[in-house]
Amino acid sequence: MGDRKGFTLIEVLVSLSILAATLLLTYQVISGAVSAADRSERWTAASYLAEAMVLDAIDDFPEAKETEGKFPPPNESYSWKRIVRAASHPDAVEVEVVVLWTSQNREERVSVTGLAVKR
């Protein structure tokens, strides 16, 4: 029996089990990284859209009211809500923009606030 070459069935099964566990963990890590990258990309886009709306509103000195809508393509998956409130100074208003979207059956939101001053 000492002159046999090769692996026993148990050795092959243990090796395959270790390989399967390693591949499963690798898949989970890569899947999590892809999901995190997608979520980060959506948050970045929403933050940019909200900031752009606040900057536009600050330039125009809007009246105090609430408005809402959807962004045009290619950002149609995002909707927005703009709230303009009176500030403590009579020549200023607070502008808050909330950008909403759905990701993995969950509503996500980013809120950006700025101050518009009469010129």
Q: Convert the pLDDT of each residue in 77-109 to its tens digit.
A: 999 999 999 988 888 999 999 999 998 889 999
Give the list of residues 6+ apart from residue 87 with CB closer than 8 angstroms, or none: 93, 94, 115
The domains found in the chain, sorted by start residue, are: 9-117 (2.20.25.110)
* pLDDT-wise least confident of 25-29, 46-50, 81-85, 115-119: 115-119
Q: In what order do the strands lie in the sheet with 92-103?
A: 66-70, 79-86, 92-103, 106-117
Q: Convert the pLDDT of each residue in 12-41 to its tens digit.
A: 999 999 999 999 999 999 999 998 998 899
Which CA distances in Å does 10 have to 2, 15, 17, 20?
Answer: 18, 9, 10, 15
H helix or E strand, kind and range, residue 92:
strand 92-103
